[in-house]
Chain A
């Protein structure tokens, strides 16, 4: 008797509130996994950064000692500066991708093949890209020095020179990233309104003015996505560095993610707390961009 009343009550309570509950039920799996696999590790990393821990034994609380040491650690400064270089120079992929997309956005015989060929570097693994460029730069048999030699310029060892190595790796990274931006813009160009172009043409716009005032504004969504993926790409530049220089020569090509890996997880790294402190710094850099992305997406949604 009481059971049925309770069931009925439950039933009606659920019915009364189902409009509020249903979205939460749908969100529940995502929230659950996001909490377990994203939020919790972030909190864990931050708390770990206040400990000294070799990953095996007991962790010892050291306060902000790890962060104090970061401030005096030159390898950390080098990594941070390299991260900035990556962030800035990687953005070159966006204009480069745009111009290749404009170039390929025409209807000639076999254009699909050309498009595929340009997109190819993005499809192959970053490891392969790294190896290809390592051979390209090789001071002994590399194509680069062959080309330089044929115009009478001396041999350079791009990946062995601490002043050049990071730029050499970024150039390798730009190859696939440009292809990615290109494909985004090619899709974007399909959505450009032909009537507007027609109208602009009647008004006498062509060349750069056409591009700047008519095409690019219409490509804004593509540009936004290209910006997002490029920033993300620059911040996860780990595999190329690992393949091409392994962080060397003498640590000059490390970025924060690579340095964190070395300190915490690599062959010679047994400092989980210190690694976590580096990760926290990297997290805040990322958070800055993530906040910007979310904010601008929110503005976009609101505008609709």
Chain B
């Protein structure tokens, strides 16, 4: 009798599983999620996802721990090996390398083999190491120049498409008593964004990646050319003063108050601009202009991801959660303008009706033939990234130190290559 009941239950389970795979497995137990989505908007998104996933699986006890985004970057090393959750946030590409090679991330190639995952093909490469996939993307976002349209109009300027126009614009802006760009380089990575763009526009995506992999010396003339272009902007006073003292958020008021007219940033900055009181009429977006017309345009579009730690307890529920995360509906919802305000990775998702999301979506799908990079501190190895960004910050403050900086970076490159 008892076995009979069991059989029936099992039968029931399989039939429902066939019809609606996401609901039927009767997941139970505990699902522990560690997330780095600690800023207000991402936090709400994460909590919303947990709530909706919880509603689908009422027997599953989901425990969400949100950790400060910066602190998370160091804590992940400990909790992956000591106290692994079932699902954890991280980043694509080189950044997941150390955990993959240490066997701390679960190989989830089986998920990627499922037909639903074909819609994620655009990031499959960034999730692949050693021909296996180690995580799933939930969002990515464009980088580009956010600028004060109203001030540009007041000065009679239009968004530049070439570096010459850029420099000409900037001269007008500087003459009007403003800085062209705000930037806060206290935590270094913002300077990495500038280098990514200047180098990809000057020397192209392929060269940038060779440099990132450590195949080209930092003292190469092509690298110097990138810095020479950068210096043109620095020398004309394009950047705000004292940027080494500010975080990227602390640099926002310069743009909101109109002391600076543009910000090279990721799209996650848009809610901050809006909270600061800028309307969509005041805030514009343009793609970083062409410097060398011979190299195809390439963009930075960092991808944020979910992974299953190898030491997870409830991998079945974790896989189900990952399926849920990448589903087209969920990606449409979490990336909407009133949620993350970013771009869905799932090709079947739709982009919210939002000026910046649409601009980013069309830029990444049509105007980035050169390739899509992750970001300076995700493409370069960790140690090279740290030393590199420190050098970039120093260059922005003391451009005369360039030779010394490049020699130092070359020392680190040779040292890490060993």
Contacts and interface: CB of A to CB of B under 8 A. Distances in A.
Interface in A70-113: 72, 74
Nearest to B392: A250
Interface stretch (A124-132, A185-193, A226-234, A263-271): A263-271
A250 B386 contact: no
Interface string B375-418: 00100001101100011011001000000000010010001000
Contacts of B383: 268-271
A57 B102 contact: yes
Interface stretch (B73-81, B325-333, B348-356): B73-81
A268 B98 contact: no
Nearest to B245: A160
Given A56-B81, A268-B383, A250 B393 contact: yes
B77 A56 contact: yes
Contacts, number: 70
A69 B242 contact: no
B186 A54 contact: no
Contacts of A248: 186, 188, 244, 390, 393
Given A55-B77, A160-B242, A160-B245, A251 B382 contact: no
Which size class do A's interface residues fall under?
A: 20 to 34
Given A267-B73, A267-B382, A269-B383, A54 B394 contact: no
B98 A270 contact: yes
Interface residues of B, number: 30
Question: By DSSP majority rule, is chain B's interface helix, strand, loop, or mixed?
Answer: helix
Contacts of B99: 56
A262 B386 CA distance: 9
B48 to A, nearest CB: 28
A140 B241 CA distance: 10
Nearest to B76: A267
Contacts of A54: 98, 102
A248 B190 CA distance: 14
B104 interface: yes
B68 to A, nearest CB: 12
B163 to A, nearest CB: 26
B101 interface: yes
A69 B411 CA distance: 11
Nearest to A245: B186
B408 A74 contact: yes
Among A56, A157, A248, A249, which residue has the most Cβ atoms of chain B within 10 A? A249
Interface of A: 54-57, 69, 72, 74, 138-140, 157, 159-160, 245-246, 248-251, 262, 265-271
Given A246-B186, A250-B390, A271-B383, 20 more contacts: A54-B98, A56-B77, A56-B99, A56-B101, A57-B102, A74-B408, A138-B245, A157-B245, A159-B245, A160-B244, A245-B186, A249-B245, A249-B394, A251-B390, A266-B73, A267-B73, A267-B74, A268-B385, A269-B383, A270-B383
